[in-house]
Chains A and B, each alone.
Chain A
Amino acid sequence: MKLMNYKACVCNLCGTGCGQFLKTDGRKVFGVAPLIAHPVSKGKLCIRGWHANELLSTNERITTPLIRENGQLREASYEEAIALVVERMRQFDGAAGEIGILASARSSNEDSFALGRLAREVFGTTVRGIGAEAGHRKSMASLEHAFGYPGAHGSLTSIDKADYILVIGTDITRQNPVIGGNIHAAQRRGARVVTLSSSRTQIAKLSTKHFQQKPGTKGLLVNALAKALLAIRTANRERRANVDQMPGHTEYVASLRSISSVALERASGIRYEEIEEEAKFLEQAKSIVFLFSSGISGLDRPTIDAITNLALLTDRMDHEHSAVIPVAGISNLQGGFDMGVSGEPGNSVFKALAEPDSPIRALFVIDHDDGIIRDKERISKLDFVAYSCAYRNAFMDLAHVVFPLPAYNETDGTYTAADKRVQITRKNVDNPHGVLPGWALFQRLAVASGKAWGYQDAAGVFADIAAKVPGYADLSHELLGKGFGQHWNPKAFPNSRQRKFNAINIEYWESPTTPEFPFALMIGKAQHYWHQNNLMRKTIVPRREYDQTLWLYPQGYIEISPEDAANLKVRDKWLVNVCSSTGTCMKIAVKISPDVQNGTAYIPYFIKNMISDFLIPYENAYAAGEESVIPIKIQEA
């Protein structure tokens, strides 16, 4: 007998894909309960998951299609809005790159797949992208080269069984707290947990070993670990024929041999002897899990290549509890890539928007985070912008037509978590305004343009996905509804058994800091700050928590070490001027943190000026994500 008030679903707030019950009467959501039997979350949720009911109860919903008239958005019927979009889009030449698609990493697979069809078959365009794809694209490219398919190797559940867990860079207890909790549990049961990060994050404190390296040298350290591992094998006269025969091995080993321990120590601040000690543990481990953050704050390609190479070199990747997982910050980032709505080099919508002479004239956008409207000016000058989202946000101001979408629990949909686990959320609440699910909306647009797709429901869309998307062939809504999802099958990729080393270059990263600009500024994270807070701002308790930080530091904050603060003669909450070497400046409060190294400084993403004034003008820093370092000076204000 089904429960009256509790409905199982999948949390839609990050790439972990935790099991969640919503307490609902079918009209409103009153509460949340964790799902104990879920293999990944095992009855745990983070502050976001526990407050999903607040988000799902917000009044800030888009309830009806809207059309801009005389500068104002007015309510419209679906017929009118769809007809308008079809008519306007017809005036642009998709094939010539005049139409761009900006997909969402929160959309279900069904919505993203249908959006891909809409782009290709109706708009005739290949210019596309996903909101948070920048970092994930690098992860996908590196993994595809190494393992033969664009996706994680292994499962998040491996964390519970593995001997050795290496966490690279990510502040995982903030970004994906439930994964962080699983790592912590692994450490307590005796697994060796090693964290590589320049600041002393919570996971660093909970690890068996923390390498607090200088900024920009994570990849170098991973490569040094590989070198030390090789040295152990050479000393033991051990050969791993299968690893030695992988393409790229000779070049990889040659590069590793060139690592100089003196230069390594100078660049990273870590002694090679320490790495050699660590390599002994790595060599003894039977199963190894590598975790690194992917998405907007992801690592750069050389660092990811160093990670995938080390994974292959350990020769433990065939163990059932080994894994290499790019941990996504948004629920369906992996699914978006699988559905083919990410921008490939050469047809990226971000590039089209950034290049002043690109032909783009119209944009079709799904659920975009307002905090990161890049190229806002360009978008505001486009001839036509259509926007679809469940929640109101600033992107509506840029749109000529707005469509509502259902929230994640108001429609059937599948989501692919960071480790390729495809899970289904069934509709458990009726949308009070009867809005169309994304796939149905895109189908209506297709029909109005004279194309018939014939989808009856989300399960039908998924059947089409199973037929066309590699790896999804064995899956269906019916099957996914029975358990807690299933990983898509990498064997569908012809190269999945041909592992290859990525080419690496050993570079001793030179800090861009100078005597004049002595601090290395990096992008910091803050508790309760996710997805530019587009969603969290619509809750009650998580929003209060986020505001809490802003109340203490209304101008935002820059984290520096106690020693640097003493040298600068500043105290906590004092205002300082921060100036970068490119000449950008901002006034911001000091936050003294013992977890930060001397000579480094962190400003969290959510400080508005950090993005608009600091990161975007600073060439490539935004794209480099977690690895970006900006030389700055800090002066009294």
Chain B
Amino acid sequence: MSMYIVSSHEIKQLAEALRASYDVYGPQVDPQTQQVFFDQLGDVEALNLEAPIPSMPVKEILFPQMERVLQYKYDAEAQSVEMSKPYAERPKVLFGLRPCDLSGILVLDRFFLGQEFVDDVYLTHRRQCLLISNTCLNPFPQCFCVCTHSGPDADEGFDLDLTKLKDGYLVRVGSEKGQAIADERNWKPAQPHHLSEHKAVVDRCIDLFPEMATDNKAWVSRVMNRITTGFIKSETWEYIGDQCFECGACSFVCPTCSCFNVEDSRMCDGECERLRTHDSCSFEGYARMAGDHNPRQPVEDRRNKRFFCKLSYPQSKKYLRPGCVGCGRCQWVCPGDIGLPNVVQYIRREITE
């Protein structure tokens, strides 16, 4: 793997150069609210690689909250139907992905592309996508990627990976696509001491994690074991269920949640459009079956489904990693107090009591 050492100015130049042939997305800070979004860049100057973790996961770009996936018009007399694809392929650069969001994309890839059926909508958004990750130099509140093997630095899946060091950014190349970009540019090769500096930066970041996160590291795997073997008491799930407000927020902000709902709606002129929207296992209607049977009607039965998905061994086998990437967003948005790290704590309490 080639490595380069690149100045901040050259990073901006790279982003600017990529804008010629790609839509460039990157972390930006909203001036009014100081909230960080991973949004399309109107101007490279807005790219802020030191901004905290984006408030919404990057999956919004590849698998948006709501998307038109089909348009059709049925002519009843001629018995013919016209169909069109309202989504289009656009080359994209995701510039400055946090490693947790990168891991999230890898999970979504395995869900949408790596199984029996390949999802054409996701594939269209994903196909010409350049992934540039960015090592976290310090953890943000609620982060716990050290527990889920998804940070603070990336180890797979990127085309280029950036780490801010003293001399500039260490650029690691992770793919042929990434190498081709590096080859076009006159970047200085990195020295061996840069690599050890990279390791020191990552180690320092891990040290900075709050005790709750580092301490939980062993517990996440212990809880996975418990969840997989079904040893968790129903009282614990009820305690968690009582705190669920059924808003669905945890699923919407989760970088790996891939559940969706499909609905056709008729426009005024007889044309129909098919919408795909995010869905959440916390909703009662989500698990309803034909014939009105609902195997997961009580809220606690729905709520624990989420944690089976994030923290059980069979599910991890499917994604080749835990379903949780440790970004902590579910903890931010939950009006109850049942973000994933807390649930691990509750189960831990049960184990240790």
A621 interface contact, C-beta 8 A: no
Residue of B nearest to A43 (CB): B332
Partner of B335, one of A31, A184, A544: A184
Chain A residues within 8 Å of B243, by CB:
184, 206
User: 8 Å CB contacts to B: which residues of A12-48?
Assistant: 19, 21, 23, 30-37, 43-47
Chain A residues within 8 Å of B249, by CB:
34, 44-45, 50
A268 to chain B, nearest CB (A): 25
Q: A3-B37, A45-B247, A47-B247 are in contact. Are A181 and B288 (CB under 8 A)?
A: no
Residue of A nearest to B239 (CB): A205
Are the CB atoms of B40 and A33 closer together than 8 Å? Answer: no
Q: Of the 9-residue stretches B130-138, B176-184, B276-284, B344-352, which lies at the interface with chain A?
A: B276-284
Interface residue total, chain A, C-beta cutoff 8 A: 52
Which of B248, B268, B285, B337 has most A Cβ within 10 Å? B285
A551 interface contact, C-beta 8 A: yes
Interface string of B226-248 (1 = CB under 8 A from A): 00000000000000001101111
Are the CB atoms of B247 and A8 closer together than 8 Å? Answer: no
Q: Of the 9-residue stretches B58-66, B70-78, B98-106, B311-319, which lies at the interface with chain A?
A: B58-66
CA distance A181 to B243 in the complex (A): 9
Residue of B nearest to A57 (CB): B66
Are the CB atoms of A544 and B66 closer together than 8 Å? Answer: no
A457 interface contact, C-beta 8 A: no
A540 interface contact, C-beta 8 A: yes
Residue of B nearest to A7 (CB): B30
CA distance A34 to B276 in the complex (A): 21
- Pair count A-B, CB < 8 A: 143
Are the CB atoms of B283 and A541 closer together than 8 Å? Answer: yes
A1 interface contact, C-beta 8 A: yes
Chain B residues within 8 Å of A612, by CB:
none
B299 to chain A, nearest CB (A): 9
Q: A43-B55, A177-B247, A544-B285 are in contact. Are A4 and B277 (CB under 8 A)?
A: no
B265 interface contact, C-beta 8 A: yes
The size class of the interface chain B forms with chain A is 35 or more
Q: A31-B66, A544-B285 are in contact. Are A5 and B39 (CB under 8 A)?
A: yes
B27 to chain A, nearest CB (A): 11
Q: A544-B261, A548-B288 are in contact. Are A35 and B35 (CB under 8 A)?
A: yes
Chain B residues within 8 Å of A626, by CB:
none
A552 interface contact, C-beta 8 A: yes
A527 interface contact, C-beta 8 A: yes
Chosen A-B contacts, 9 in total, with CB atoms closer than 8 Å, are A6-B39, A30-B64, A30-B65, A30-B67, A32-B65, A184-B243, A185-B337, A544-B285, A548-B283
Known: A1-B42, A45-B333. 20 other contacts (CB 8 A): A2-B30, A2-B31, A3-B37, A5-B37, A5-B40, A30-B67, A33-B37, A36-B55, A37-B34, A43-B55, A46-B335, A50-B247, A54-B66, A177-B245, A202-B242, A202-B245, A205-B242, A540-B277, A545-B283, A548-B285
Binding site for A on B (CB under 8 A): 28, 30-35, 37, 39-43, 45-46, 55-56, 60, 64-67, 242-243, 245-249, 252, 261, 263, 265-268, 275, 277, 279, 283-285, 288, 292, 294, 332-337
Closest 9 pairs between A and B when the two form their complex, measured CB to CB: A181-B335, A31-B65, A548-B285, A544-B285, A1-B46, A44-B335, A540-B263, A37-B33, A47-B247
Binding site for B on A (CB under 8 A): 1-6, 8, 19, 21, 23, 30-37, 43-47, 49-50, 53-54, 57-59, 173, 177-178, 180-182, 184-185, 188, 202, 205-206, 527, 540-541, 544-545, 547-549, 551-552
